[in-house]
Amino acid sequence: MPEPSSGEIGVEDARGRMLAGLTPTAETVALSGALGRTLFAPIAALRDQPPFDASAMDGYALLPGDLSRPYRVIGESAAGLPFDGRVQPDEAVRIFTGARVPDGCRVIVQERAERSGEIVTFEAHSPGSMNVRSRGGDFKAGQVLLHAGVRLDAWSLALAAATGRDMLQLAVRPRVAILSTGEEIVKAGGAATGVQIFDSNGPALQALIAGWGGIAMPLEPAKDDEATIAAAVAEVDCDLILTVGGASVGDHDLVKPAMRRLGLELKVETVRLRPGKPTWFGVLADGRRVLGLPGNPASALVCAELFLRPLLLAWQGADPTLPMETARLAAALPPVGPREHWMRARLSSEDGVLTATPFSDQDSSLIAVFAEADALLRRPAGAGKAEAGDGVDCLRLHRLARPNSHSIHR
């Protein structure tokens, strides 16, 4: 099949081509397995919440009226154990938080009540609050609570569970085979000779894929050999093949030729981007997609953020837009060449002002620098010199807490 000569294209264009034709599909999943996954169908309330007028306090329920007279306590209403009778004007019901409030009643908090046997009296000037959570005050039957495309976290799971459902319609998770390539690449835990290095991209990508809702399927690293690379992925049952390394045009960059053996139709040949120019994308004859990342750790992980993340989110019907933020530059930066530049940076916040400090060494081979970054800073292609204090676009990385004192870098 002739290959379209797409040449080097911009980041937006490349992303558009990668996301074209992705169709989310649905499956039914138990609530307990839904964390981090994406809703395929909206969730509406099946009934009002709360489903009855509920007491907001511990106290006494009584009809609105004269508080200066004594009331006779005729029963009790506890959460899940309601009082079923009717309340007359001189009667009160002992009531607890979350219990159904008898028809027409308000609740006087127990701190304002004086109980003696069956008789209860109240402070004359009880404040006006009803202390009642009205039926449907949280949400109403039929109300859409969670929209399709929402990624489920603890809070949205609480909302889904509050509707009483235990099975949800979720987007099927894309299965991503990860193939690290290179004669020099050894899996961590293996024995490396003096000229070999350990695969650091594979485990990082595996974690990123899981965080973006995909199913990571790590393969054994493959040597720089066309037939070996093709054989490594030929029979893998997956939606996307993510290759690492061998993406460029050197004599040992054999991933694209290997994929051609499997009927690769190239959609993105190379991207006007730094780091990550050799990134490519295509579709195999059997419909599986292939995203080829360069091997340098910063290139691979920057491109995972810029391309793999939107790809996986779009595939699940979630919003693939990168959530860019604006920060102030901590220091001046030189003009940018013809490729847009994504720099590793550290964010700090003082008095509500977000400041980005790019690392001085942006070499794309540096793993330790990346491990210290908490944002990627975007400088547009062709931009002039930037001054300290200028606004810059940042993409926050999803980092977990690290002690500040831990810094080993520059």
Binding site for ligand AMP (CB under 6 A): 180, 182, 184-185, 197, 199-202, 244-248, 294-297, 365
Residue 77 contact among ligand AMP, Mg ion, none, beta carbon within 5 to 8 Å by kind: none
The item of ligand AMP, Mg ion, none sharing an interface with residue 292, based on CB under 5 to 8 Å by kind, is none
Give the shortest CB-244-to-Mg ion separation in angstroms: 9
Contacted by 180, from ligand AMP, Mg ion, none: CB < 5 to 8 Å by type: ligand AMP
Whether 263 and 285 have beta carbons less than 8 Å apart is answered as: yes
How, if at all, do strands 240-244 and 175-180 pair? parallel
Number of amino acids touching Mg ion (CB under 5 A) = 3
* Residue 280 backbone phi and psi in degrees, to 5: -140, 170
As a whole number of angstroms, the distance between CA 153 and CA 318 comes to 13
Task: Name the amino acid, one letter, at 307.
Answer: F
Name the DSSP letter for residue 110: G
- Output 49 or 296, the one with its CB closest to ligand AMP: 296
Q: How far is the C-alpha of 351 from the C-alpha of 348, rounded, in Å?
A: 10
* Secondary structure E strands in 261-335: 265-268, 270-271, 273-274, 280-283, 289-293, 324-329
- Among Mg ion, ligand AMP, none, the one that 174 touches (CB under a kind-dependent 5 to 8 A) is none
Residue 200, contacted partner among Mg ion, ligand AMP, none, CB below 5-8 A by kind = ligand AMP
Q: Between 245 and 278, whose beta carbon lies closer to Mg ion?
A: 245
Do β-strands 289-293 and 91-95 pair in parallel, antiparallel, or remain unpaired? unpaired
CB neighbours of residue 158 within 10 Å: 9
Shortest Å, Cβ 227 to ligand AMP:
18
Exactly one of 59, 82, 213, 245 binds Mg ion (CB under 5 A); that residue is 245
CB of 295 to Mg ion, least distance (A): 5
Contact 231, 181 (CB under 8 A): no
Options 180-188, 225-233, 306-314, 360-368: segment touching Mg ion (CB under 5 A): 180-188
Regarding 246 and contact with Mg ion (CB under 5 A), the answer is yes
Contact (CB, 8 A) for 351 and 359: no
Q: Do residues 53 and 133 touch, judged by C-beta distance below 8 A?
A: yes
Q: Provide the minimum distance between the beta carbon of 339 and ligand AMP in the complex, in angstroms, as a whole number.
A: 17
Residue 182 touching Mg ion (CB under 5 A): yes
Q: How far is the CB of 221 from ligand AMP (least distance, A)?
A: 7
Which chain residues interact with Mg ion by CB under 5 A? Answer: 182, 245-246
